[in-house]
Amino acid sequence: MKMQAGSNTAIVIGGSIAGLLTARMLAERFDHVTILERDHLPETVENRKGAPQGRHAHALLGRGHQIMEQLYPGLTEALVAQGAALGNGRFYSGGGYFARPQRAAHKLYVSRPCLELAIRSRTLEIANISLIDNCDVLGLTATEDNARITGVRMIRRRPGSAAETLEAALVIDASGRGSRTPVWLESLGYARPPVEIVEVDMGYASRLYERTPEHLDGDLMVNLAPTPDLPIACGMLAQEGNRWLVTLAGYFGNYPPLDEAGFLEFARQLPTQDVYNVISTARPLSEPVAFRFPSNQRRRYEKLEAVPEGLLVIGDALCSFTPIYGQGMSTAAMEVEVLQHCLQEGGVGLAKRFYKQVAKVIDIPWALTVGNDQRLLKTPQPLPKRILGWYIARFQVAARRDPELALAFQKVGNLFAAPTSLLHPRLVWRVFKGTLRRLGGEPSPPPSRVEPATHPTAK
C-alpha cells in the first residue's frame, strides 16, 4: 500500500477492544504501530477506569468471536484453558424461550477484562506494535492546508511532562464514545459529523455469584430480552472462575436497585424465574455495581462533505449501541475488517471510502438495536415497519417450538446474517405453519421456561 511519503507508521488512540484489534490488523501493513492509551494497562485480569463497562456482562456475538479468532488464532482455546466456558445458553424473547437449534455453534463465555487482557497480550507480542499507556491524546497535527492529518499531540501522565508531537501516516481514533475527533475536526475548519441519537435512559446493575454445575442444567447463559410491556432485561453469563455475572437492565429510568433486597426483587420481576432461582440461593461474590447508558449514538462521518486524509474513526467513537444487544465489540471487529479491505484497495481517498463502506456494515446492527428500542419506546412506525414488526413477533412465537426458526433468528442476532434473511419464503412458511399449530391448540413449551411473573411498570 502507498501512503504519504515519510514514515510508514500508524497511531491508534485508545487501547481497548477496537484499538487493539485495529493495531493488530495495521501491523501487517505498517512498519510500526503505536497505541496511545490513557489508562495504565494491567498485566493481570482486572477492571480499569477507562473501560468501566468491564464490570458488566459482555456477550461475545458469533461474528465478533469469529473475527477475533482469525486475528489471534488459538485465542478461544487459550481462554478456555484459563477457565472461560464454551457451551449453550437460553434465549428468551417475546414471551418464551426459543427452541434449541441442533446445529447452533457453542458460544464463548468470558469476562470482559479477561478477553481484553488476552487480546492485549497477543497484540503487544507483535514486534512492530508498541504501547504508550498513561498518556492523554490532546489533539491532532495537520499539514498547513489541514488537508491531511500528520500525527497527534499527547502528554504523558507523570509529573513534569510536556506535550509531545508524534507523527504518523495514519491516525485511528478508537477512543470510545467520548471521542474528541468532532471537536478536533472543527478546530481544523471541518464540520462536525451529524450525530444520530436514540435515547433509552438505561440503568445497569451487575453482581457476581458463585456458579455450580447443577445451575440451569449446565447451560451457560440466560438472556432475557425486553418487550414494550416489560422493558427490562437480564444477561446472566458464565465467567471464568466458576462464576455468574448477572446484569439487570431497565429502560427509561427504571434503574435496577443496588441493595440486596431490591436487586433480588428486580430479578424476580423478570418474565422467567431462572435467574431469580439461581441468585436467590447462590453465594454472591461481589457487591452490585451500576452503570447508566443514556442513548444509542451514531456519528455519521460518511455524510461529511470533506474529511481530512490520514485520520479515521472506529469502534464506539463511530457508533455506540444500547449494550443489552451485545453488539459493540463485534461491530468494532467488523469495522476492522472493512478497514483491512479499504487498505488493500490503496491509500488514495481512504477516509471517504472507509466511512462509506463502514456505514453499510453498521447499518445492520444499528437497525436491529434501534428498531427494537423504538418498538419499546412505542415510536409510531410507518406501515411497512409495522407489518414487519407483526411478522417478527409471530416468528419469535413460532421459534419457541421450531429449532430451524430459532437458528435463523440466532444467526441474525449474532451478525452472521442480515435481518432480511428472516423473510426467506421457507421461513415465512414455517412461521405460518407454527402460527396455525398454535391456533390449533398445540401445548406450550415446558412451563419451567415460561413461568409468569409480576410485571413492573417502567417510568
Confirm or reject binding of residue 310 to ligand FAD (CB under 6 A).
no
Distance CA 372, CA 388 (A): 12
Confirm or reject binding of residue 113 to ligand FAD (CB under 6 A).
no
Nearest to 142 by CA among 314, 347, 307: 307
Confirm or reject binding of residue 19 to ligand FAD (CB under 6 A).
yes
Question: Which of 3, 36, 339, 405 is in the footprint of ligand FAD by CB under 6 A?
Answer: 36
Confirm or reject binding of residue 288 to ligand FAD (CB under 6 A).
no
289-308 mask for ligand FAD (x: CB under 6 A)?
--x-x---------------
Stretch that binds ligand FAD, among 316-324, 400-408, 413-421, 450-458 (CB under 6 A): 316-324
Question: Which of 9, 10, 16, 108 is in the footprint of ligand FAD by CB under 6 A?
Answer: 16
Confirm or reject binding of residue 222 to ligand FAD (CB under 6 A).
no
DSSP code for 348? T
Question: Which of 323, 365, 413, 434 is in the footprint of ligand FAD by CB under 6 A?
Answer: 323
Cβ proximity to ligand FAD, 136 vs 196, nearer residue: 136
Residues 52-71 that bind ligand FAD (CB under 6 A): 53, 56-59
Residue given cell 405460518 in the structure block? 432
Stretch that binds ligand FAD, among 16-24, 211-219, 391-399, 404-412 (CB under 6 A): 16-24
Cβ proximity to ligand FAD, 327 vs 372, nearer residue: 327
At its nearest, how many Å lie between ligand FAD and the CB of residue 179?
A: 7
CB 373 within 8 A of CB 29: no
At its nearest, how many Å lie between ligand FAD and the CB of residue 175?
A: 4
Question: Which of 10, 12, 15, 90 is in the footprint of ligand FAD by CB under 6 A?
Answer: 15
Residues 144-203 that bind ligand FAD (CB under 6 A): 174-177
At its nearest, how many Å lie between ligand FAD and the CB of residue 445?
A: 26
Question: Which of 12, 30, 38, 279 is in the footprint of ligand FAD by CB under 6 A?
Answer: 38
Stretch that binds ligand FAD, among 12-20, 349-357, 384-392, 429-437 (CB under 6 A): 12-20
Cβ proximity to ligand FAD, 104 vs 415, nearer residue: 415
CB 177 within 8 A of CB 293: no
Cβ proximity to ligand FAD, 156 vs 438, nearer residue: 156
Residues that bind ligand FAD (CB under 6 A): 13-19, 36-39, 50-51, 53, 56-59, 136-137, 174-177, 204, 291, 293, 315-317, 323, 326-330, 332
